[in-house]
Amino acid sequence: MGLTILVIGSGGREHVIAQKFIKSPLVQEVYCAKGNPGMIRDGIQLVDIAEDNHKELIAFAEQNKVDWTFVGPEVPLLNGIVDDFKKAGLKIFGPEKAAAMIEGSKDFAKELMNKYHIPTAMHRTFHELEPAKEYVRMKGAPIVIKADGLAAGKGVVVAESVEEAISALEDMLEGNRFGASGAKVVVEDFLAGEEFSLLAFVRDQEIYPMTIAQDHKRAYENDEGPNTGGMGAYSPVPQIPQELVDEAIAKVLRPAAEGLIKEGCPFTGILYAGLIATEEGAKVIEFNARFGDPETQVVLQRLETDLAGIIDDLLNERIPAIQWKQDGFSLGVVVAANGYPEEYISGSVLPAFSSDCEQRVYYAGVSEKDGKLLSSGGRIYLVEAEGNTLEEAQQNVYQLLDSVDTTGTFYRKDIGAKAMKSAKL
């Protein structure tokens, strides 16, 4: 009998994770709570229990003889789903709440980085508006304003001017735009350089780094427009040299994992460092306690080893052997609803992809009506393709997107362009 696995989450990230699990020879059954209707075609079974209903999820896992659970998003981690499952004697992959605070509080993350000498932008934390304004006036622009706590990637303003920075501060500290998460604000120096995401499987002090990826956070081409959850990604990132990645593993991932152990909250799960390659080396702009979305949809295509086997090894005190592809590229483009990340429209009929292309379409904000998929969220789906070169991977994705009806939705046409520009320099 193969493994029975429960995945928590409902986005494109969970779609690719659950798809990798179900294709594994080790796996019998994959459930996803709540999942989305775009996952059904892969044989993933949807479970209609909310992510925050730990009691019912535990009961479901017990009744269905789930061997282990994999947590996709940050919110359940910060709600203590791992703590609760473990208390019930169930196996679950992800950090406990105390360790997930590395993502849940920017202030906690900054303190950890300072204490363990992890390179990051200089910062100050403020609870009150006036001293924050004064600090911003003293520092000048560009400067970065971040709401403490979770804000789905949208609590960050990279201000080009002091006025813009002050209005962001007013928004977060006075207007309470982000609710409780806006009560504290981190003001940090702007870091210039290319951004990349370095993720690793982590079990206490053991670190198994993944191939790096680059996300595209801004809504529109040329990195313009508001920040989003991510509009596309590719992996690997050829303009970031391996020495810099090795340095980031040694100076960022290792001390973070060791620091969390010393703080009494060891981390097991996926640790994600959002980094900027500055002239002084890689510096952290954020930590996440989970896989990235949309990075996962491309990074997992680079994995040669069976994902279910890796997680099973990590949960059962075995050392996983992990292999990454050495050649080629994977690139994914997010299709979002018109209006996203502000108010967006829902209910657009999604195109039907041919069955071989379907395998590389990962759904997020979708619902189903009369056998058709309709948009129901901001980020709707991602189309991924591979290529021997990045250009080829990009052409493969855009050819597919150009060939279907994308009415009511939009996507960036320049995912991967930065890498190709630097390659030609």
Measured between alpha carbons, how far is residue 172 from residues 81, 107, 123 in Å?
29, 15, 17
Question: Binding partner of residue 227 among ligand GLY, ligand AMP, none, CB under 5 to 8 Å per kind?
Answer: ligand AMP
Question: Binding partner of residue 14 among ligand GLY, ligand AMP, none, CB under 5 to 8 Å per kind?
Answer: none
Tokens of 211: 């191939």
Identify the CA nearest to 237 among candidates 334, 304, 331: 331
Kindly tell me which of 149 and 230 has the beta carbon lying closer to ligand GLY: 230
Length of the chain: 425
Tell me how far apart the alpha carbons of residues 229 and 320 are, in angstroms, rounded to a whole number.
31
Q: How far is the CB of 288 from ligand GLY (least distance, A)?
A: 5
Kindly tell me which of 236 and 274 has the beta carbon lying closer to ligand AMP: 274
Q: How far is the CB of 311 from ligand AMP (least distance, A)?
A: 25
Tokens of 344: 């967006």
Tell me how far apart the alpha carbons of residues 265 and 40 are, in angstroms, rounded to a whole number.
37
Tokens of 212: 């790096």
Kindly tell me which of 313 and 384 has the beta carbon lying closer to ligand GLY: 384
- What share of residues in the chain are helix, strand, coil (percent, to 5)? 35, 30, 35
Question: Binding partner of residue 295 among ligand GLY, ligand AMP, none, CB under 5 to 8 Å per kind?
Answer: ligand GLY
Question: Binding partner of residue 361 among ligand GLY, ligand AMP, none, CB under 5 to 8 Å per kind?
Answer: none
Q: How far is the CB of 227 from ligand AMP (least distance, A)?
A: 5
Contacts with 179 (C-beta within 8 Å, 6 or more apart), sequence order: none
Q: How far is the CB of 354 from ligand GLY (least distance, A)?
A: 28
Kindly tell me which of 244 and 303 has the beta carbon lying closer to ligand AMP: 244
Tokens of 218: 């801004």
| Strand runs labelled E in 279-318 | 281-288
Kindly tell me which of 292 and 408 has the beta carbon lying closer to ligand AMP: 292
Kindly tell me which of 286 and 414 has the beta carbon lying closer to ligand AMP: 286
Tokens of 292: 């990235």
Kindly tell me which of 73 and 259 has the beta carbon lying closer to ligand GLY: 73
Contacts with 121 (C-beta within 8 Å, 6 or more apart), sequence order: 144, 188, 189, 190, 191, 283, 285
Which residues here bind ligand AMP, judged by CB under 6 A? 121, 144, 146, 153, 156, 158, 188, 190-191, 195, 217, 227, 274, 285-286
Question: Binding partner of residue 288 among ligand AMP, ligand GLY, none, CB under 5 to 8 Å per kind?
Answer: ligand GLY
Question: Binding partner of residue 191 among ligand AMP, ligand GLY, none, CB under 5 to 8 Å per kind?
Answer: ligand AMP
Residue type, 169: L
Question: Binding partner of residue 377 among ligand GLY, ligand AMP, none, CB under 5 to 8 Å per kind?
Answer: none
Question: Binding partner of residue 39 among ligand GLY, ligand AMP, none, CB under 5 to 8 Å per kind?
Answer: none
Q: What are phi and psi of 317, to 5 degrees?
A: 60, 25
Kindly tell me which of 133 and 146 has the beta carbon lying closer to ligand AMP: 146
Tokens of 401: 């997107």
Residues forming beta bridges with residue 199, ordered by sequence position: 272
Which residues here bind ligand GLY, judged by CB under 6 A? 153, 215, 230, 288, 292-293, 295
How far from each other are the two terminal CA atoms of the chain, in whole angstroms? Answer: 54
Q: How far is the CB of 207 from ligand GLY (least distance, A)?
A: 19
